[in-house]
Amino acid sequence: MSKLVNFPDFFCIGAQKSGTTTLHEWLTQSEEVGLPWTKETHFFRDEERFSKGQNWYFQQFKDTSLRTKIFGEVDPEYMYFPECSERISSTCDAPKLIIVLREPISRALSHYRMSQRRGYETLTFHDALFEETSRLQNGDRFSKIHHSYIDRGLYAKQIEKIMYQLPKSRLLVLKFEDLYASQDSSVKALNLICDFIGISSNGITCDVSVKHNEAAVPRFVFLRDIIYGQGKLKKSVNRLISSRELKIRIMKFFDRLNTKTLDNNSSLLKVDHCPDFVYEMFINDLCKLQSMVDVDVSHWIANYQSYLKKK
């Protein structure tokens, strides 16, 4: 596949469950930015879509006739799957990459809740972490997407592979709390992002009181199973709608209707502590991360070390 020649100009590649949906909503407010019609085309991750070629990908974007715009995509799958950075490097001419990192255990828990809500996870959080290695070693693509709670939080391992394909100078690495800790920090982070990709922050409102992708449960399990399940009913619905893109849009619409946000006092939010080996894995990875990129995660490391000492 030939290079797309400066298209897109940037990607926000993750990490998953680190506020990428909120960042997408911020960028949609800018008249200078062109984004795909739907968040996350998965073009560089999905083999079937990638095989459709760059013309298909180009058609997923709004206002592509206006090259005065800066074009980009927000898709956290691109950080985790190594083939994505390889494909981006081979087809795009030096795009800029934005990476937002979340404290790994909080990220893992948020990921677990999402898989649980969609009916993809029946184990407890504690047991799911113990079973993760065997699940991923089986090479099951489903588990790589939905059960990679620890593995997606090993940021140094992922960024190292990305930097092998793309230069460090084209990476902007931020932390989840940089974007969402307070209104002032959000504005500062937004300005950093806008400067990095070459647009003005004028016209973009970042309201930290507005939450996206909060912890939730399905209102109706039967509807959840139609949307995310693999049973006969789901297959019957799939046969009725030939367009994959239309299926995704319909699924997202009904998923929003079927989602009930959890309050902070919900008993469903209570989970067991992580096993010790999880803290140790994250400590080692975060120490390596700090030597690779300009990001201070020492407070995450200190919190994990403090927890281990108390046990």
85, with CB counted inside 10 A (0-12, 13-18, 19+), is buried
Using an 8 Å Cβ cutoff, are 84 and 45 in contact? yes
Given a cut of 70, whether residue 15 has pLDDT beyond it is yes
Per-domain residue ranges for the chain? 10-210, 216-261, 276-310
Given a cut of 70, whether residue 223 has pLDDT beyond it is no
pLDDT tier at 269, thresholds 50, 70, 90: very low
Provide, rounded to the nearest whole percent, the portion of the chain with pLDDT above 90.
Answer: 54
pLDDT tier at 265, thresholds 50, 70, 90: very low
Mean of the per-residue pLDDT values of the chain: 84
pLDDT tier at 268, thresholds 50, 70, 90: very low
Mind listing the pLDDT tens digit for each residue in 191-208? 999 999 999 998 898 876
pLDDT of residue 178: 87
Query: In the CATH scheme, what is the code of domain 10-210?
Result: 3.40.50.300
* 58-67, 255-264, 278-287 — most confident range: 278-287
Give the pairing type, strands 259-261 and 216-218.
antiparallel
Given a cut of 80, whether residue 104 has pLDDT beyond it is yes
Residues, the chain: 311
Reported pTM: 0.84
pLDDT tier at 270, thresholds 50, 70, 90: very low
Given a cut of 90, whether residue 97 has pLDDT beyond it is yes
Nearest to 127 by CA among 141, 116, 142: 116
Given a cut of 80, whether residue 32 has pLDDT beyond it is yes
Q: How far apart are CA 106 and CA 62, in angstroms?
A: 34
Nearest to 112 by CA among 300, 274, 284, 303: 274
Using an 8 Å Cβ cutoff, are 160 and 292 in contact? yes
Mean pLDDT within 68-89 = 92
